[in-house]
Amino acid sequence: MEDITPFLLSLLSKPGISGYEESVSEIIADRWRPLVDELTISPLRSLHGLRKAATNERRPTLMIAAHMDAIGLMVKTINHGFFTITTVGGIDPRVLPGQLVTVHGKKELPGLVQLMPDRLLNNETASKAPTKNQLFVDTGLTQKELADLVKPGDLISFAQPPFEMTGGYIAGHSLDNRASVAALTLCLEEIKNYNLDCNVVAAATVQEELHGIGAATSTFSVRPDLAFAVDVTFAKGPGSNDYRTFSLGEGPAIGLGANNHPALTQKMTSLAEELDIPYFIEAMPTSSGTDGMAMQITANGIPTQVLSMSLRYMHTSVEMTSLKDIARTGRLLARFITDLNPDSFSKLFEEKTL
Amino acid sequence: MSPQTKQVLRVGKAQLDLLEELTNANGVSGNEIEIREIIRKKVAPFADEIKVDGMGNLLVIKHAKKPNAIKVMLDAHMDEVGFMIVEEDGDGLYEFEHVGGGDERQFVSKPVSVGSQKLPGVIGSKPIHLASEDEMNAVISQQGMRIDLGPAGKGKAKRGDYAAYATKFIRSGDAIFAKALDNRLGCATLIELLKTAPEHIELLAAFTVQEEIGLRGAKVAAYDFYPQMAIAVDSTPAFDFERPDGNENTEYNCKLGGGPAIYIADRGTLSDPRLIRFLTQVAEENKINYQYRQPGGGGTDAGALHLTRGGIPSVSVSVPGRYAHTAVMLARISDWQDTLNLLQQALAAWTPEILSGDRA
């Protein structure tokens, strides 16, 4: 199997902010084209890659979905060459000072998010945690040099280039959720030479960071018999050590709780045991906070399972995850697919009741 | 005033490449070796004498070719603010301290380069999803952050290793984004000035250590050189923003695009008025864009230089830069060009009479 790292690094070098995913969608499409039978784009611009069963008979359809959009910023106002900003998706304003960004105006301009120096603030606002309204973007260019290059509504993406860490880890912006896109890609590669007894739709969905919009619409179109939402979850790290967090690089997390169909949770757990893939059970008492939420309640209801890779520093420019966990997730999905046929599908739901 | 120098220094590709090399390299206060070695190679073709003193200052001399030449010291500190690893937590996570002045609100979510092996790391803290509302309203404290080398970085760094921001140099039109422009701009300026040292000046260039933690290198460098006058070349913060409350910004310190900032007074130094007058005159006569830095706090190596031995007439000239002591600074190439012009013309125009009168 090909090393997924170069592809992942290229995914992490693209903006693809929610609602504007084309830049990342294009390179996913190029990579998936030889791996699927049909590649289509939904009205909201999610990418669907279909692997057909090796028969014309009716076969169950499995959807594996990972959102490809990323959080970002947007120009709100322009004031003496500086831009005030708003956020697209959930970003902690406290991680923004000192972030290099790209301003997507008429041309792409390097910029820097910063906060007002204390000496220009009053006692109530100085030295405080920065809020969205106090931050601005500086391109280093004067209002005159900027001319009409930038207007309110222009997108601003993180410019931090991705980089490899020691011993099989990677850091960069938008590993949430392009790590999962990489896992889906590995899965498609692994099943490439198999004759399938089920249909598989790999979906790179849009606008997850704005409430699973792509996942809801894609699931409606595909109307799968069962679905996996592949996403990232929290790794243990500074200030992050409770039940919601998992040791980084020590296996994917299999969701358990209302958003997950118990039969699928059970099946994934036994597959992981069988394949000797380390895993965690991720307790999801109410909501998974992933595409799985929207997928499960689509049409007349879709049995759904959430599968996650743990990641440190979610929603920052230096998210960090494990290449090994990406590969493990891809393998788990591939094995589930090659095991799936009409018989195993009906057995899956025979004994389990909700 | 004496004639202008013939060969005018220009900020072209070679100079920007030099600045890129200097800013991408790491030299946290107390660990300046990488910067020193780059500079040593760059100045070797032009220098008459090069030595490293007991603190790590790089002392470079370009002898005068005329008798009774004045000894002029040019000073630029090599060090930058950064971090030191102080404790290992396990799992690739390390506790750290900041070296030099800094605002902890600037630390988090930055890539860093750790130790002499330059291990890739990031500064991380709790993600937004796990932070409570109270936490969201509070500054992320340094105690809540770790330098993270990833789980495989366990045991790879050790107590006392330095870490620097891993920012890479970017140019955008006349703007430059880089770490440590404070004070690699000064270092690059001195390297260029050594190339065109005028014959009537004994040029003593000191690339100093530990400025950010108390002007320590400059003190001993000035003692060694014992010059008749000294100029500290540095980068000074530009706070040239519109105030959020709409009032006039009267505390901008200096402005980007305003040219070299000549210091009149800071926390540690009252610049020699004869040198201020001289630099002003050179700027006016050569039509070089310049500005006076607003008198006030802050300081440069001049704070140590002017107090050395029996006292050395000193002044500071700085390239304005925004966001000093953060991961990414911003400066303008035109300001650097103007600074280079001013200093080059000032050295060329130097006459002994400038310091022969009373100080004020």
Instruction: Give residue B26's pLDDT band: very low, low, confident or very high (50, 70, 90).
Output: very high
Res B1 pLDDT > 50: no
A121 contact B CB<8A: yes
Percent residues over pLDDT 70 in chain A? 98
Are residues A329 and A239 both part of a single domain? yes
Assess whether the previous peptide bond of A122 is cis (omega < 30° from 0): no
Res B2 pLDDT > 80: no
User: A114-135 burial, b for 16+ CB within 10 Å, e for fewer?
Assistant: bbbbeebbeeeeeeebbeeebb
Percent residues over pLDDT 90 in chain A? 92
Question: Which structural domain range is residue B158 located in?
Answer: 82-165
Are residues A233 and A331 both part of a single domain? yes
Q: What is the pLDDT of residue B353?
A: 87
Helix (H) or strand (E) run with residue B320 in it: strand B314-322
Q: What residues in B contact A249, CB-CB < 8 Å? A: 151-152
Instruction: Give residue A157's pLDDT band: very low, low, confident or very high (50, 70, 90).
Output: very high
Residues B123 and B147 sit within 8 Å (Cβ to Cβ):
yes
Q: What is the mean pLDDT of residues B164-183?
A: 98
CB pairs under 8 A between A and B: 193
Cα dist. B179→A113, B191, B280, B325 in Å? 14, 19, 30, 8
Q: What residues in B contact A120, CB-CB < 8 Å? A: 239, 241, 243-244, 249, 251
Are residues A61 and A100 both part of a single domain? no
Question: Which structural domain range is residue A241 located in?
Answer: 5-70+173-350
Question: What is the average pLDDT value for chain A, to the nearest integer?
Answer: 95
A248 contact B CB<8A: yes
Are residues B242 and B283 both part of a single domain? yes
Domain containing residue A140: CATH number: 2.40.30.40
Are residues A198 and A148 both part of a single domain? no
Q: Are the beta carbons of A94 and B108 separated by less than 8 Å?
A: yes
Residues B10 and B337 sit within 8 Å (Cβ to Cβ):
yes
Q: What are the percentages of helix, strand and coil residues in chain A, rounded to 5?
A: 30, 30, 40
Q: Which of A107, A125, A158 is the last residue of a domain?
A: A158
Residues A118 and A126 sit within 8 Å (Cβ to Cβ):
yes
Are residues A34 and A134 both part of a single domain? no
* 3-state SS assignment for residue B40: helix
Radius of gyration of chain A from its Cα atoms, rounded to whole angstroms = 21
| A27 in a structural domain | yes
| A327 in a structural domain | yes
Q: What is the mean pLDDT of residues B138-146?
A: 96
- Which residue of B148, B174, B251 is the best one to mutate when testing the A interface, meaning the one whose CB has the most A CBs within 10 A? B148
Are residues B257 and B320 both part of a single domain? yes
The distance of B138 to chain A (nearest Cα, Å) reads 5
Half-sphere exposure of residue A208: CA atoms within 13 angstroms, side-chain side: 31
- CA separation for the pair A232, B129 (Å, rounded): 12
Tens of pLDDT, residues B316-360: 999 999 999 999 999 999 999 999 999 999 999 999 889 988 876
Positions of B marked active-site: 211
Count of domains for chain B: 2
Q: Are the beta carbons of B124 and A313 separated by less than 8 Å?
A: yes
- CA separation for the pair B249, A132 (Å, rounded): 22
Residues A156 and A101 sit within 8 Å (Cβ to Cβ):
yes
Q: What is the pLDDT of residue B61?
A: 98
Are residues A203 and A256 both part of a single domain? yes
Residue of chain A whose Cα is closest to the Cα of B119: A166
Are residues A150 and A88 both part of a single domain? yes
Residues B283 and B252 sit within 8 Å (Cβ to Cβ):
no
Are residues A46 and A177 both part of a single domain? yes
Res A352 pLDDT > 70: no
Q: Are the beta carbons of B111 and A171 separated by less than 8 Å?
A: yes
Are residues A62 and A80 both part of a single domain? no
Tens of pLDDT, residues A206-231: 999 888 899 999 999 999 999 999 99
Q: What is the mean pLDDT of residues B215-240?
A: 97
Q: What residues in A contact B327, CB-CB < 8 Å? A: 98
Q: What is the mean pLDDT of residues B83-104?
A: 96
| B144 in a structural domain | yes
Tens of pLDDT, residues A70-87: 999 999 999 999 999 999
Are residues B52 and B118 both part of a single domain? no
Are residues B54 and B72 both part of a single domain? yes
Q: Are the beta carbons of A314 and B128 separated by less than 8 Å?
A: yes
A137 contact B CB<8A: no
| A167 in a structural domain | no
Q: Which of A158, A186, A210 is the last residue of a domain?
A: A158
Instruction: Give residue B220's pLDDT band: very low, low, confident or very high (50, 70, 90).
Output: very high
| B333 in a structural domain | yes
Cα dist. B218→B184, B305, B334 in Å? 16, 6, 28
Are residues B141 and B151 both part of a single domain? yes
Q: Are the beta carbons of B124 and A320 separated by less than 8 Å?
A: yes
Residue predicted with more confidence, B178 or B1: B178
Tens of pLDDT, residues A16-34: 999 999 999 999 999 999 9
Domain containing residue B286: CATH number: 3.40.630.10
Q: What is the pLDDT of residue B202?
A: 97
Are residues B222 and B336 both part of a single domain? yes
| B2 in a structural domain | no
Q: Are the beta carbons of B91 and A248 separated by less than 8 Å?
A: yes
Res B4 pLDDT > 80: no
Q: Which of B165, B198, B231 is the last residue of a domain?
A: B165
Residue predicted with more confidence, B68 or A69: A69
The distance of B74 to chain A (nearest Cα, Å) reads 29
| B205 in a structural domain | yes
For A138, which of B168, B173, B330 is closest by C-beta distance?
Answer: B330
| A168 in a structural domain | no
Are residues B97 and B232 both part of a single domain? no
Pairing status of strand A47-51 against strand A82-88 = unpaired
Domain containing residue B157: CATH number: 2.40.30.40
A310 contact B CB<8A: no
Q: Are the beta carbons of B139 and A127 separated by less than 8 Å?
A: yes
- CA separation for the pair B87, A47 (Å, rounded): 46
Count of domains for chain A: 2
Are residues B101 and B226 both part of a single domain? no
Cβ neighbours, 10 Å, residue A236:
19
Tens of pLDDT, residues A103-137: 999 999 999 999 999 999 988 888 999 999 889 99
Are residues B90 and B222 both part of a single domain? no
Residues A238 and B93 sit within 8 Å (Cβ to Cβ):
yes
Q: What is the mean pLDDT of residues B88-101?
A: 96
Res A141 pLDDT > 80: yes
Is-above-0.90 flag for pTM? yes
Are residues B122 and B214 both part of a single domain? no
Q: Which of A158, A186, A219 is the last residue of a domain?
A: A158
Are residues B201 and B62 both part of a single domain? yes
Q: What residues in A contact B140, CB-CB < 8 Å? A: 94-95, 129
Percent residues over pLDDT 90 in chain B? 93
Q: Are the beta carbons of A139 and B175 separated by less than 8 Å?
A: yes
Q: What is the pLDDT of residue A11?
A: 98
Q: What is the mean pLDDT of residues B226-230?
A: 96
Are residues B109 and B190 both part of a single domain? no
